[in-house]
Amino acid sequence: MTNISNILIEKLRDATKVAVLTGAGISAESGVPTFRGKDGWWKKHRPEELATHEAFSRDPELVWEWYQYRRDLVLKIEPNPGHYALVEMEKHISEFTMITQNVDGLHRRAGSSAPIELHGNIMLTKCVSCSKDYSNKNHSKENYPDLIKIDPSNIPKCTCGGLLRPGVVWFGEMLPEKAMEDAQRASAQSEVFFSIGTSAIVYPAAYYPLSAKNNGAYLVEINIDSTPLTPDCDLFLQGKSGDIIPEIVNEVWD
Ligand code: OAD
């Protein structure tokens, strides 16, 4: 049982504006590897080999092999109690903003109403040249369309001749402008801000908890380990998000 402070319980009972930032850690208990953990993606590969425009230009087959592998993985797994507890929290807070760096779509599948997907969604597909969208917008597991099952050795082309690429944000690319604006506004206005399962080092996401704190929010971090953000937090809850978020929700609203 985690020691959830009375201050947090009272703040959440009174709060009308809450924002949450999640990272790969919240999906770890569903079976998605993190990026920087012991078995994380970036322990085996270098980001610039797989997650940049240059990598795709150099070796699109290798890049698609990685993304198609991750798509297949995401389809085999389910959201976990951490994702579901955030859906429950949303029901009690009038202005609740879910911001995620994850591309796995698990918040959406769990039932979060409008997650801001800062880094895109791994199920989206677009043209590398003209950005024409080739996605089926229904991300549910049942609706995963054959159309976007990419054979890396035979990558489909857009009508303009460009290769199709995953609809995620690569290193060196701009994040979607509206997503950034909405995330920034919600963070600055929040009364309570949660940073959950993220190493809090990739910008601009890493800036949102600090912006919340600078504007008076009560800043809470949930993580199995401390991060560079931990010293700035009002409350650090150490442990698995799949345990701690349900405990908070049960404590505050049951
Ligand atoms: P990281 O892999 O950097 O960090 C994952 C965090 O989750 C770490 O701080 C872990 O300690 C924590 N963690 C692991 N399991 C957990 C659990 N069960 N409960 C709570 N915390 C847990 O992943 P991100 O912070 O999401 O970007 O990485 C940010 C971005 O860097 C990603 O979106 C991706 C990556 O490169 C792009 O690809 C553009």
Q: What does the pLDDT look like over 126-159, one tens digit per residue? A: 999 999 988 866 555 555 444 467 889 999 999 9
**Distance from the CA of 52 to the center of ligand 1, in angstroms?**
18
Which pLDDT does position 47 carry in this prediction? 81
Question: Which position has the higher pLDDT, 31 or 49?
Answer: 31
SS3 24: coil
Residue 168 near residue 124, CB atoms below 8 Å = yes
The whole-number average pLDDT for the span 38-61 is 88
Average pLDDT, the chain: 92
Return the pLDDT at 44: 83
Whose CA is closest to atom 31 on ligand 1?
202
Preceding amide of 204 cis, omega within 30: yes
The CB of 202 under 6 Å from ligand 1? The reply is yes
Tokens linked to 132: 């024409």
Q: Is the pLDDT of residue 246 over 60?
A: yes
32-38: average pLDDT = 88
DSSP-based three-state secondary structure for 95: strand
Number of H helices, E strands in the chain: 11, 8
Least confident interval from 25-29, 59-63, 72-76:
72-76
Confidence band (pLDDT; 50, 70, 90) for 46? confident
What pLDDT sits at residue 254? 81
Q: Is the pLDDT of residue 40 over 50?
A: yes
Identify which of 32, 224, 226, 240 to mutate to test ligand 1's pocket (most ligand atoms within 8 A of the CB): 224
Using the CB atoms, write b or e for 194-203: b if 16+ within 10 Å: bbbbbbbebe
> In the predicted model, is pLDDT for residue 249 greater than 60?
yes
Structure tokens at 252: 């505050």
Those residues whose C-beta lies under 8 Å from the C-beta of residue 49, and which sit 6 or more positions away, are 55, 62
The enclosing H or E element of 250 equals helix 241-253
Out of 83, 92, 107, 119, pick the active-site residue: 119
The average pLDDT across 75-94 equals 96
Does the beta carbon of 29 lie inside 6 Å of ligand 1? yes
Q: Would residue 119 show up in a list of annotated catalytic residues for this protein?
A: yes
Q: Can you give the pLDDT at residue 147? A: 47
Q: What is the pLDDT of residue 134?
A: 84
pLDDT surpasses 50 at 83: yes
Residue 140 confidence (pLDDT)? 55
**Ligand 1 midpoint to CA 37 (Å):** 8
